[in-house]
């Protein structure tokens, strides 16, 4: 995914997964998740959610706030247990390539680590040798436009730069799937637009499958191959909307009929849901 | 034509702004010493009750020349450093384990809550019984005094670790020990240093107390002994030494903190 040739991962730590012509598919199989809130009440976050992520696919998961999108990512990342259902990585090998890497909405960078240290974090945990860590980190620091900032601490960077570090840190471990939890929603509108473009550029080069959670329709349509539309809590899949726009995508496509129609279709699906959420007083 | 009245906006928050009066800080300190010297020179106060600053400095130089000062200082420093090191290492270890492992918390918290309020100096007789009148009992009482603020602060620091960062670390493959070493400990560092500073004060207090109760050397002994023979100048030398020790340890810890927590002090 990262190198041009399949299996040509000279830079990868030992034991990394690489089989020519074989790519990984993610299967989310009827997941349900209920929380117990502080009052001891059971709250259903996800209900019978099923979806697939094909190799090299960019899937957006879209829904109103509090629809359990983040819960889905948490379960996929192995950070939360599901009540029922399972997530499979078809074609994966135990102890091989990391299944997922997450880019967090709040960046979640380690404040005591420099940019370099943050990007190397996942590689450290994989047991990569220092020289290799450095080399791989340098590659993704360059790819995300962070050159010259290697020695800076997160608090010395702008929001956009911080999230670049978050993306570089995630890509550096070469995950089977990149999980992105509203990665740009903490950024200002201009920065967000620029970061979307950059992410698409990076994705064109790495072709790592992405599950991208957002509540922004335009963002989802602009970037994704398919948009999985979620209902309000408990999150259910309302529909999956394929986006038939040419790649590589560019801003000019935002006026195209396919773009507008897809957006309208999604809005129709979630409008009533959003209205109901509004009446309830939000999430 | 009538002139239109204009009201200019004035800065009403001016009195809230705090200025830094650097010179005043120096003047205050120097002023106190000068005043003290003047009072002793006029002869209003007998030098038995209040020796002059110059006299104290003279005595300090004499004691340094004879080596007497360094004997006492050396003995005290050794007790202080051993006690401080043992107490803080144990405190951090207990703080991290009770903060991170809920089973350790269940065991440790009631024990700490029950033993923390005991004034540590009250344990000195017991410690002397157990460890003898020599160095170990003095080191132990200082270590105990340092242990509690360290354990409690470290525990609080560990509990404050951002759960998002812990999650992020786990998402990138970190296990229990990696999380402790790479997330929990750095998160707790500011609290650990606050604990060290608190502990340094406690250590000095217990050092002097222990040396006054059961010692024939050390700064605490020097102060008590000088008082007994009404050698007020020597007594003041001891007090000045303690004050300098206190200030220096605070400086050293602040410097160490800046070196250990660079992400807090780089702009």
Query: Per residue in A63-103, pLDDT tens?
Result: 887 778 889 999 999 999 999 999 999 888 777 788 899 99
| Residue B1 resides in a domain | no
Q: pLDDT at residue A8 above 80?
A: no
Distance of alpha carbon B216 from alpha carbon B239, whole angstroms: 17
The token duo for B211 is 């040396």
Residues A195 and A262 in one domain: yes
pLDDT at A37: 84
The predicted pLDDT at position A281 comes to 62
Residue A219 lies in a domain: yes
Is A45 a member of any domain? Answer: no
* Whether residues A194 and A92 fall in one domain: yes
> How does the average pLDDT of chain A come out, rounded?
88
Q: What is the mean pLDDT of residues A228-238?
A: 91
Query: Of A128, A159, A174, which residue constitutes the final position of a domain?
Result: A174
Asked if residue B85 belongs to a domain, the reply is yes
Checking if the pLDDT of A9 tops 70, the result is: no
Question: Residue A66 gets which letter from DSSP?
Answer: T
- Please indicate if any CB of chain B lies within 8 Å of the CB of A256: no
CB contact (8 A) between residue B168 and residue A108:
yes
Asked whether residue B244 is domain-assigned, the answer is yes
Among A3-12, A130-139, B81-90, the range scoring the smallest mean pLDDT is: A3-12
Asked whether residue A277 is domain-assigned, the answer is: yes
Q: Does residue A57 sit in the same domain as residue A146?
A: no
Residue B62 burial (CB < 10 Å; 0-12/13-18/19+)?
Answer: middle
Q: Do B174 and A155 make contact, defined as CB atoms within 8 angstroms?
A: no
User: Is residue B103 domain-resident?
Assistant: yes
Interface contact flag, A98 B173, Cβ < 8 Å:
yes
Listed residues A174, A194, A223: the one ending a domain:
A174
Please tell me the total count of domains within chain B: 1
Cβ distance B165 to A108 less than 8 Å, yes or no, reads yes
Structural domains in chain A (count) = 2
Chain B positions in Cβ-Cβ contact with residue A77 (cut-off 8 Å): 171
- B75 to B145, B208, B221: CA distances (angstroms): 19, 12, 11
Over residues A2-16, mean pLDDT: 39
Binding-face residues of B in 131-190 toward A, CB within 8 A? 164-165, 167-174, 178, 182-183, 186, 189
Same domain, A66 and A133: no
Give the domain range for residue A58.
Answer: 1-6+19-40+50-99+179-283
Pick from A98, A112, A173: which is nearest to B263 by CB? Answer: A112
Q: Which of A79, A113, A156 has its CB closest to that of B171?
A: A79
Considering the domain boundaries, does residue B10 fall inside one?
no
In this structure, the answer to whether residues A127 and A259 fall within a common structural domain is no
CB atoms B168 and A112 under 8 Å: no
Start-to-end CA distance of chain A, whole Å, equals: 38
Q: What span, in angstroms and rounded, lies between the C-alpha atoms of A58 and A207? A: 9
pLDDT over threshold 50, residue A21: no
Q: Please tell me whether residues A184 and A90 are part of one structural domain.
A: yes
Residues of chain B with pLDDT under 70: 1
For residue B180, what is the domain's CATH number? 1.10.3720.10
Higher pLDDT, A40 or A225: A225
Would the pTM of this model clear 0.90, i.e. be above it? no
What residue numbers bound the domain in which B152 lies?
A: 53-261
A81 touches chain B (CB under 8 A): no
Handedness of CA B34, B40, B45, B48 (dihedral sign): positive
Single residue among A174, A199, A227 that ends a domain in this structure? A174
């Amino acid at each position: 995914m990262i190198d041009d040739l399949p299996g040509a991962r000279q830079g990868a730590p030992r034991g990394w997964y690489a089989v020519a012509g074989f790519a990984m598919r993610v299967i989310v199989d009827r997941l349900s998740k209920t929380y117990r809130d502080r009052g001891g009440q059971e709250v259903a976050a996800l209900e019978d959610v099923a979806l697939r992520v094909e190799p090299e696919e960019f899937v957006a998961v879209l829904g109103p706030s509090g629809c359990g999108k983040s819960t889905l990512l948490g379960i996929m990342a192995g950070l939360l247990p599901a009540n029922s259902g399972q997530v499979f990585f078809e074609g994966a090998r135990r102890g091989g390539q990391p299944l997922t890497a997450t880019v967090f909405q709040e960046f979640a960078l380690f404040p005591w680590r420099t940019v370099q240290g943050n990007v190397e974090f996942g590689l450290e945990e994989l047991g990569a040798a220092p020289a290799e860590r450095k080399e791989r980190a340098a590659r993704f620091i360059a790819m995300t436009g962070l050159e010259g900032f290697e020695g800076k601490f997160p608090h010395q960077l702008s929001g956009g730069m911080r999230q670049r570090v978050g993306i570089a840190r995630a890509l550096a471990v070469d995950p089977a799937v990149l999980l992105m939890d509203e990665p740009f929603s903490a950024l200002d509108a201009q920065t967000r637009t620029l970061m979307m473009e950059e992410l698409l550029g990076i994705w064109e080069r790495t072709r790592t499958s992405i599950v991208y959670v957002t509540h922004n329709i335009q963002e989802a349509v602009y970037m994704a191959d398919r948009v999985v539309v979620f209902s309000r809590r408990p999150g259910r899949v309302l529909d999956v909307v394929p986006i038939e726009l040419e790649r590589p995508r560019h801003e000019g496509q935002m006026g195209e009929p396919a773009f507008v129609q897809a957006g309208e279709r999604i809005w129709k699906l979630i409008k009533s849901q959003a209205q109901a959420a509004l009446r309830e007083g939000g999430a | 034509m009538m002139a239109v009245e204009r009201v200019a906006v004035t800065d009403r928050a001016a009195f809230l702004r705090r200025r830094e009066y650097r010179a005043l800080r120096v003047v205050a300190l120097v002023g106190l010493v000068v005043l003290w010297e003047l009072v002793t020179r006029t002869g209003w106060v007998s030098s038995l009750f209040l020796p002059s600053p110059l006299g104290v400095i003279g005595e300090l130089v004499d004691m340094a020349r004879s080596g007497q000062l360094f004997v006492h200082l050396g003995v005290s420093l050794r007790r202080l450093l051993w006690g401080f090191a043992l107490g803080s290492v144990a405190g951090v270890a207990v703080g991290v384990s009770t903060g991170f492992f809920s089973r350790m918390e269940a065991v440790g918290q009631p024990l700490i809550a029950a033993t923390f309020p005991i004034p540590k100096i009250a344990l000195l007789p017991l410690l002397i019984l157990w460890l003898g009148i020599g160095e170990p009992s003095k080191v132990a009482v200082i270590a105990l005094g340092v242990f509690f603020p360290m354990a409690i602060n470290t525990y609080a620091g560990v509990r404050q670790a951002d759960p998002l960062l812990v999650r992020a670390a786990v998402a990138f493959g970190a296990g229990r020990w990696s999380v402790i070493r790479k997330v929990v400990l750095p998160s707790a560092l500011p609290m650990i240093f606050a604990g060290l500073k608190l502990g340094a004060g406690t250590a000095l207090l217990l050092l002097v107390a222990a040396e006054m109760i059961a010692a024939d050397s050390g700064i605490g002994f020097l102060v008590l002994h000088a008082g007994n023979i009404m050698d007020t100048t020597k007594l003041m030398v001891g007090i000045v030494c303690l004050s300098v020790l206190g200030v220096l340890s605070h400086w050293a810890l602040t410097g160490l903190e800046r070196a250990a927590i660079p992400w807090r002090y780089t702009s």
